[in-house]
């Protein structure tokens, strides 16, 4: 009984890189096999199809990250601390694996239709946390979706800039600034 788990991991990392570079549809099985240095048939020992590979890479990591954010968030008792911790976590993870997080950011459009509403994602966690904070009067009431979109935008667009090398420094050192900006967006013009 041979161990193919190393090969599966190699395929995953190679595909991730190519998916980010060229997009999922434009990446061929030949591309992946060629770069990974394996035969085309080998890929099918580990993944049913290209779509299934793209979906597994997306869903596994997308949902796992949401889960981690949710656990982390529970360790704090107010919106400001929850938000700061979540942003720090995102930045740290992005720096640790930029290719993976670039994939999650950029492949979203193609894969997001397959995400069913009952799945807990980073977006739903963020909305929940913001809604709690509003209910507790920590920040002024406003449309939760709008608030979540603005906060998410501050963090994600900076990550997108980093993915495009428009920003060159690591994200983690920026996390305090990002958290401050997000807090400002939620708290309004200078109150709090």
Partner DNA sequence: TTAATAAATGAGTGAACACTCACATTAGGA
Partner DNA sequence: TCCTAATGTGAGTGTTCACTCATTTATTAA
CB of 109 to a copy of itself, least distance (A): 5
Residue 45 is a binding residue for DNA (CB under 7 A): yes
- Judged by CB, which is closer to a copy of itself: 5, or 168? 168
C-alpha 62: how far from chain center: 6
Q: Which of 70, 36, 67, 68 is nearest to 53 (CA)?
A: 36
Q: In terms of Cα–Cα distance, which of 31, 141, 8, 172 is closest to 79?
A: 141
Using CA atoms, how far apart are residues 86 and 18, in angstroms rounded to an integer? 28
Q: Which of 146, 170, 176, 179 binds a copy of itself (CB under 8 A)?
A: 146
Binding mask 85-104 for a copy of itself (x = CB under 8 A): --------------------
| Both tokens assigned to 139 | 């920040």
Among 138, 154, 170, 172, binds a copy of itself (CB under 8 A): 154
Out of 35, 51, 167, 172, name the contact with DNA by CB under 7 A.
Answer: 51
130 close to 147: Cβ distance less than 8 angstroms: yes
Q: Does 114 bind DNA (CB under 7 A)?
A: no
Query: Own/partner pairs for 36-41, CB < 8 Å, 24+ apart?
Result: 36/10, 36/11, 38/7, 38/10, 38/11
Q: Which does 57 bind (CB under 5 to 8 A by kind): a copy of itself, DNA, none?
A: none
Single residue of 110, 138, 170, 172 touching a copy of itself by CB under 8 A:
110
């Amino acid at each position: 009984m041979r161990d193919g788990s190393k090969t599966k991991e190699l395929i995953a990392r190679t595909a991730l890189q190519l998916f980010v570079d060229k997009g999922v549809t434009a990446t061929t099985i030949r591309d992946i096999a060629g770069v990974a240095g394996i035969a085309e048939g080998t890929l099918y020992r580990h993944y049913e199809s290209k779509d299934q590979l793209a979906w597994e890479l997306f869903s596994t990591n997308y949902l796992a990250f949401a889960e981690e954010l949710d656990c982390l968030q529970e360790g704090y008792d107010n919106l400001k601390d929850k938000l700061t911790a979540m942003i720090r976590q995102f930045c740290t993870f992005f720096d640790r694996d930029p290719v993976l997080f670039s994939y999650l950011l950029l492949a979203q459009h193609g894969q997001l239709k397959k995400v069913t509403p009952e799945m807990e994602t980073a977006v739903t966690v963020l909305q929940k946390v913001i809604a709690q904070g509003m209910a507790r009067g920590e920040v002024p009431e406003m449309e939760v979706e709008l608030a979540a979109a603005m906060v998410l935008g501050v963090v994600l667009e900076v990550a997108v800039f980093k993915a495009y090398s428009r920003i060159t420094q690591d994200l983690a050192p920026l996390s305090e600034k990002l958290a401050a900006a997000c807090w400002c967006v939620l708290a309004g013009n200078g109150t709090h």
